[in-house]
Structures are given as structure tokens and as C-alpha cells.
Chain A
Amino acid sequence: MSVLSKLREIAVCLRAGMVTLPYPFEPRPAPERFRGRPIFDGAKCIGCAGCANNCPAREILVADPSQEVRIIKYLGLRCTYCGRCADLCPEQAITMSRDYETATDNVRDLQQHLEIFMGTCTRCGRCFKEPSPLEQMKLKGYRHDDLEHDRWVYASRPFLNGDSVVRDIDIEVEW
């Protein structure tokens, strides 16, 4: 009886076939509408920093080391792949790839670092001066993030100059 039931089980299993995917040995592309990590195209980027100002996770850092050069740095750590940066980008410089195999042993592997020249006036060689202070802030980017320590800096600063900023807040944990 027991042997018969085993045989019946074998028959059921053979009829059902195998559903297990041979994944790590064979590639398995994500579905068409899957949003993976964003890919930044430096050749198209105009450095408007709209992605940085609208990132819900504050993952994109902006810094202006000089008047013409702007650095845009994507950290990729806490990005939820919401796609707002890609939606917002006026030049379609950001595309959401279908790339999900991003496991790594070094967090810095996920970073993307763009150094781009900002648009300057062809006559005077300097950046445009915008009509209103608000537009100036929007276009020039009023954030100056700390690229050394991969942290962003609040636009309005609730701390003094010598104090540490967001990611350096030391919260005491009792062990």
C-alpha cells in the first residue's frame, strides 16, 4: 500500500513537471515594465539638479566646486527606484534600467558620479544671471552637499557651522 502510494506520488510529480527556475546559472531578465536602478547619462545632463531636489530618499548629491563645474553624485544606497528623477529630467538623461543584479560587497560600487560643465554665457564666459533670486537658486542649485562623506546637507540649516550634519548625528545606543 505504501509502495503504491509512493508510486502514485511519483506519477503525480512526473505529470506536474519541474517549476524551479535554473536562475543563477541562466539569466532571467526582468519584466518589461520593471524599474531597476537608474542610469545617469552624463552626456545629456544639463546639471539642473531637479533630480536632486525631488529625490524622496535624498540620494542624489549636488556640489559646485567651482563656478562652471557641477558634480552630481548618485549614491544608490537607499534609492527606492521610484523613477521620479527619470520622470522629471528635462533632457531624459536618466533612464530606469531593468538591471536588478546589483548585489555587491562594497557599497561604493553603486555610486554614479557626474562632473559636468554648467552652461555659461558665450560672450562673458560666466554663468547666466537669472532675473529673480528664486530662479537663480533653482538653476544654480542652492544645495552644496558633502561628497566626501556621502551625505546631503539641509537647504535650511538647523545647526551651526561647526556642527556635524545629518548622517553624523550621534545617537547613543545602550548596548
Chain B
Amino acid sequence: MNLKRLCQQAFKRSIWVYHANSGGCNGCDIEVLNVLTPYYDVERFGIKLVGSPRHADVMLCQGPASRATARALRAAYDAMPAPKLVFAVGNCACGGGIWHDTYGVIGPVDRVIPVDYYIPGCPPRPEAIIFGVAVALGMVDKKVAPVTFKQLQMPIPRYHPADLRRDGEIVVYEKAEHL
């Protein structure tokens, strides 16, 4: 809530976006560039891609934090003027990708820099990226929530020896009638 208010105050006019790839496969890069095409024209919201983190309000991180690029990513984050937001775009940035446990990959981006918004997808659709930005700006509400399913009752009735009754030669299980 606090973050939302801060975003609405700080980013009232336009967001300048810096786009940092720290070892991704370029799939998310293409989708981010797709967002800027006339079809998904985000410049109508004042969102603009800039080349330097010093001009940026928002950093779009793509790719896992690899061992070679983690320091550069941190430096780019430190170079951004506050207030700043970090978006993790794609599954590599959110969770480390398929090669999350290899020697060259440190893990998700949030192990190196604090991440504010997560946009999963491999790669995320351009609409998903716009949706993430819209969620951050408070234009729409987020649509996901954790799902928990619990079976409250054992689907098969439990056996207990107390329900057994010897009837002559055979043993009768009394609860069997209620099945």
C-alpha cells in the first residue's frame, strides 16, 4: 500500500525504463521491445526506454543473476536515482530459470537487488508486461492469489479393530454398511 502510494506520487508523469539483461536468452528482451511497438504502444502512458540507469525510474531485469553479471547488475541498481522500482521480467529473473542450480548462476535477481514486482512467463506476453506496469501504477488490481487445497476428509473410511465383530466363523466389519 505504501509502495503503491509512493509510485502514484513519484511516477505521476512518466516512467523511464532501463532494461537490464543479466544473462537471459533474449526472449524477454524481444517481448519488452515488442511492448514499444505501435501495437502495444506504451509511450501513450509516458513509458520510455532509456539507455542509462542514471536516467531511469524503473529497471526491468531479465535473466538470472549470473556470477559474471551480478556485480554489474548491482552497480546499475545503485546508479539509479531514488525512488526506484525493479521489475523481474520472465521466469529467469523471478526464480532463476531452468538452470537455477548450475555453477554459473547465483539465482533469481532478488538475491542481488531488491525486486518490487514479478512478471512471470517464459517469455511473458507483451500484455503481461503492460499488465505488470499497470499493477505497479495502480491502474488495475493483481489477479493472482495463493491457492491452497486441503482434503478435509479421508476419502476412504478408516479401519479400526474396534469395529470388527466376530460372527460365528466370519469376521464382520460393522462400518462397512456406511460406505
Contacts and interface: CB of A to CB of B under 8 A. Distances in A.
Interface of A: 19-21, 23-24, 28, 30, 37, 40, 42-43, 56-59, 68, 75-81, 99-117, 119-120, 122-125, 166-167, 171, 173-175
Chain B interface size range: 35 or more
Given A101-B131, A113-B149, 14 more contacts: A40-B147, A43-B149, A57-B95, A78-B98, A103-B117, A103-B132, A104-B135, A105-B3, A107-B95, A110-B144, A114-B149, A115-B149, A117-B154, A167-B107
B67 interface: yes
Interface string B32-72: 00000011110010000000000000000000000100110
Contact of B127 (A101, A105, A109, A110): A101
Contact of A100 (B67, B92, B128, B146): B128
Contacts of B94: 77-78, 107
A112 B101 contact: no
Nearest to A154: B101
SS class of chain A's interface: helix, strand, loop or mixed?
loop
Nearest to A165: B101
Contacts of A56: 98
A57 B159 CA distance: 40
B159 A24 contact: no
Interface of B: 3, 38-41, 44, 67, 70-71, 74, 91-92, 94-98, 100-101, 106-108, 112, 116-122, 124-125, 127-132, 134-136, 139-140, 142-151, 154-160
Given A100-B128, A115-B150, A123 B159 contact: yes
Nearest to A152: B101
A37 B151 contact: no
B143 A101 contact: yes
A76 B71 contact: no
A108 B101 contact: no
B26 to A, nearest CB: 15
Given A78-B91, A102-B121, A109-B146, A23 B130 contact: yes
A21 B39 contact: yes
A104 B132 CA distance: 7
Contacts of B118: 77, 103-107, 110
10 contacts: A20-B40, A21-B40, A23-B127, A37-B120, A57-B97, A68-B154, A78-B92, A79-B120, A104-B118, A112-B149
User: Among the interface residues B38, B112, B118, B128, which one has the most CB atoms of the partner chain A within 10 A?
Assistant: B118
Contacts of A173: 67, 70-71, 106, 112
Contacts of B130: 23-24
